[in-house]
Amino acid sequence: MFFGKNGAGKTNILEAISLFSSDWGLRKANISDFTNFNTKIDDWTLELASERDGYKTFLETGLANGRRFGKIDGAFTSSLSALEEFVWLLWIAPSMDTIFIGSRADRRNFFDHLVSGYDRKYKARLKKIQSLQKERLSVLFYRRDETWLNILENRIAEESIMIAKTRFEFIEQLIKIFENCYSNFLRPNVSINGKVEKIVEVNSDEDAVLEIANILKSSRNEDCEKQITNISVHKSSWLAHHPKSQLEAENCSTGEQKAFLISLILAVVRIYQKSKRGIPILLLDDLMMHLDRNRRKSLIDELIELNVQTFFTGTEQYLFEEIKDISQIFQVENSICSEIYS
């Protein structure tokens, strides 16, 4: 737990840890934002030791010559996703307060990140579909090769079906966790709404491929003109509803939205623990300040039950009274951490 005044550097610590994910970290910062203002040196390196079953793995990530890199035990990785086989980062930050009321694209990216921790092929499939769609639009605009278009559209359809099925499986896992694990935090009903999902839901895989491919074929002229793909898993909407009123999360109170987010992240930790992929690590930035004492205790109880490594930040030490005996506590001042001993 890290406490200190605003601007002391607490969130920088959590952000550094979050960069061991293949995404751009807790604050979604640009590469230029990591340059040290004093030295003006662009390159940087982060090191992290991960221990599992008594075996330590040393991970590195950073920026060299303008490019992000990853290393495992000193050897370069082919992609940053390889680091996620050892640690999987989940976080709740103040910027996520708008996750249910912001853009659909932001919400989709958030949920897709959660799903990608459940299925290691999911993120690669999303990128593959993007690449195929881009290639199809290029062929439509420049060449109009009918045979190649048919191949591309079938491949898009096949990958799209796998994405939709994984999303459905993830939602099923969430439902099971919500039904079987007690929590004091309000739990949303999560669903996915999109053209691809509707097709997959009512068709066999073979029929779904044909239908999606036919829709792509029939929309070639429109897609070429607008330079978009009319039917895509990247246009689906993730929805969350209040379990009793059935109101969409965006119409619920700020407190209810916060509860949805907390219960969702805690449930996903349970899913990840079963998947036995990377060790789940929670980063909770300035969360306790926004919870009353009972809610703070409820959160701590669930985290103790989960036995998941958690990094907290907060402005006041009293917010962590319930965990002072089981935590490492650091005071942060001018970017310097000093451990506090009880």
> pLDDT digits over 29-49, tens only?
887 788 777 877 888 999 999
**Which range is least confidently modeled, 41-45, 73-77, 175-179, 296-300?**
41-45
> pLDDT digits over 311-330, tens only?
999 998 888 888 888 899 99
Give the bridge partners for 50, in sequence order.
Answer: 57
**117-126, 201-210, 299-308: which has the highest mean pLDDT?**
201-210
> What pLDDT is recorded for position 277?
67
> pLDDT digits over 209-260, tens only?
999 999 999 999 999 999 999 999 999 999 999 999 999 999 999 999 999 9
What global pTM score does this model have?
0.90
**Which range is least confidently modeled, 50-59, 161-170, 172-181, 257-266?**
50-59
Which of 227, 232, 217 minimizes the C-alpha distance to 142?
Answer: 227
> What pLDDT is recorded for position 259?
93
The fold of 1-86+278-342 is: Rossmann fold (3.40.50)
Question: What is the percent of the chain with per-residue pLDDT over 90, rounded to a whole number?
Answer: 67
What CA–CA distance (Å, rounded) separates 179 from 171? 12
Is the confidence at residue 8, as pLDDT, over 80?
yes
Report whether 90 contacts 243 (CB < 8 A). no
User: What architecture is domain 99-275?
Assistant: Up-down Bundle (1.20)
Residue 53 structure tokens: 């079953």
What CA–CA distance (Å, rounded) separates 58 from 84? 13
> What pLDDT is recorded for position 335?
87
Which of 167, 102, 97 minimizes the C-alpha distance to 129?
Answer: 167
Q: Is the Cα dihedral 104, 198, 120, 206 positive or negative?
A: negative
Length of the chain: 342
Which of 332, 303, 251 minimizes the C-alpha distance to 92?
Answer: 303
Is the confidence at residue 342, as pLDDT, over 70?
no
Is the confidence at residue 275, as pLDDT, over 80?
no
Q: State how far Cα 133 lies from the chain centre.
A: 23
Domain ranges of the chain: 1-86+278-342, 99-275
pLDDT-derived band at 163, boundaries 50, 70, 90? very high
Mean pLDDT of 259-280: 87
Enumerate the H helices of 19-145 as residue ranges. Answer: 104-118, 122-142
Is the confidence at residue 187, as pLDDT, over 70?
yes
Q: Reading across the β-sheet that carries 87-92, which strands appear in turn? A: 87-92, 279-285, 309-314, 2-3, 329-333, 336-340
Report whether 315 contacts 6 (CB < 8 A). yes
What CA–CA distance (Å, rounded) separates 57 from 208? 43
Is the confidence at residue 276, as pLDDT, over 70?
no
Residue 180 structure tokens: 């079987």
Mean pLDDT of 50-62: 90
Question: What is the percent of the chain with per-residue pLDDT over 70, rounded to a whole number?
Answer: 99
CA-only gyration radius of the chain, Å? 22
Mean pLDDT of 248-275: 92
Which of 166, 96, 153 minimizes the C-alpha distance to 126?
Answer: 166
